[in-house]
Structure 1
């Protein structure tokens, strides 16, 4: 059976990282049977990054590559009715969420106002972690943020990027149904992966406060959450 390797859950979602939750949601929405293995150590993953899948002994990383592989290898019909323009829009959503990822991560690990609550939530939910290890992970993330660029922003400027991303999503996600109609597609799985990690967190970051005030985004997130968590794999 196919195995998904991703970070552990937090705040009631299946993966506390948007990319892993995106793949999890896609698998569930597409009806692909799989096992879900949670890891903190990504050293054995392709490119040293989670998530990845093991499909009959072949390891495949990168969330978009995983989704493309699954669609082709299993002839999935989740996107079969989409037009070329809608598929192009899915790619645009993916790139937008790449930007939102960095701001969401910044809010958890970098911002001194919210880091203690995030750290304590991880320690409470995952007994294998300790404060020293999380401090080490935090310093590693600081290096990543500096290299990517978000770490060079003041918090207000960083959040301005993320809020602009969320505002665009709020303009594109309909009040009913899903992005491309009555059935969810990979775009909805991707959007859920990131929004769920903001919406279900109790930590009052600027991203959380903005999202809470968008009823269409909240409805979309909770609808996908109900669908994918109805029967989580072992």
Structure 2
């Protein structure tokens, strides 16, 4: 059976990282049986990044590569009805979510307004973690943010960038149904992966404030959450 390796749960979602939760939701929506293993150590993962899957003799990393691999291997039809224009929209949204990822991560590990509450939540929900280990992870993330660029923004400017991304999603998500119709497709899993990690996040960041005020985004998030939760 396929095994998904991803970061542990937090605040009631199956993975506290948008990419892992995206793969989790996709597998659930597509009806692919799988085991879910929660890990913190990504050293054995392809490219040293989570999530990744092991399926028989195949080990596959990168969330988009995973979705493509699983779709082909299991002949999934979740996206079969999409038009070329819809597939183009999906790619644009996926790339925008990559941008949103950095702001979300910054809000947890770097922004001093929210880092203490995030650290406390990790220690509370995952007692195997230590203050020393989290301090090392924080230092590593600060270095990543600097070289990626988001780390050179102050907190308000970084959050404004994320709110702009979320505003685009608010303009695209319909009041009813899913992005491309009455049934969810892979892009809905991708959107859920990130939005759920904002909406269910029990810390009142500007990102959460914006999401909570958008009825269409909240409805979409809750619909996918109900569909993929056991």
The two structures share one fold, judged by TM-score above 0.5: yes
1:108-149 residue CA offsets vs partner (Å, 9 max, x unmatched): 000001001000000000011011110110000000000100
Question: Which residue number corresponds to residue 107 of structure 1?
Answer: 107
1:53-91 residue CA offsets vs partner (Å, 9 max, x unmatched): 001121100000000111111110100111011111111
How far apart, in 1, do the equivalents of 2:123 and 2:155 lie?
25
1:173-210 residue CA offsets vs partner (Å, 9 max, x unmatched): 00110000000001100000000000001101000001
Question: Which residue number corresponds to residue 219 of structure 2?
Answer: 219
Question: Which residue number corresponds to residue 186 of structure 2?
Answer: 186
Q: Provide TM-score, normalisation by structure 1.
A: 0.97
1:21-40 matches, cutoff 5 A: 21-40=21-40
Question: Could you tell me how far 1:170 is from its partner in structure 2?
Answer: 0.2
Identify unmatched segments of 5+ residues in structure 1. Answer: none
Question: Could you tell me how far 1:158 is from its partner in structure 2?
Answer: 0.8
> Aligned pair count?
230
How far apart, in 1, do the equivalents of 2:15 and 2:190 lie?
13
How far apart, in 2, do the equivalents of 1:2 and 1:172 lie?
33
RMSD: 0.5
Structure 1 residue runs of 4+, over 4 Å off? Answer: none
How far apart, in 1, do the equivalents of 2:156 and 2:113 lie?
12
Question: Could you tell me how far 1:28 is from its partner in structure 2?
Answer: 0.1
How far apart, in 2, do the equivalents of 1:219 and 1:167 lie?
15
Q: Secondary structure at the match of 1:15?
A: coil
How far apart, in 1, do the equivalents of 2:112 and 2:194 lie?
21
Question: Which residue number corresponds to residue 73 of structure 1?
Answer: 73
How far apart, in 1, do the equivalents of 2:141 and 2:74 lie?
36
Identify unmatched segments of 5+ residues in structure 2. Answer: none
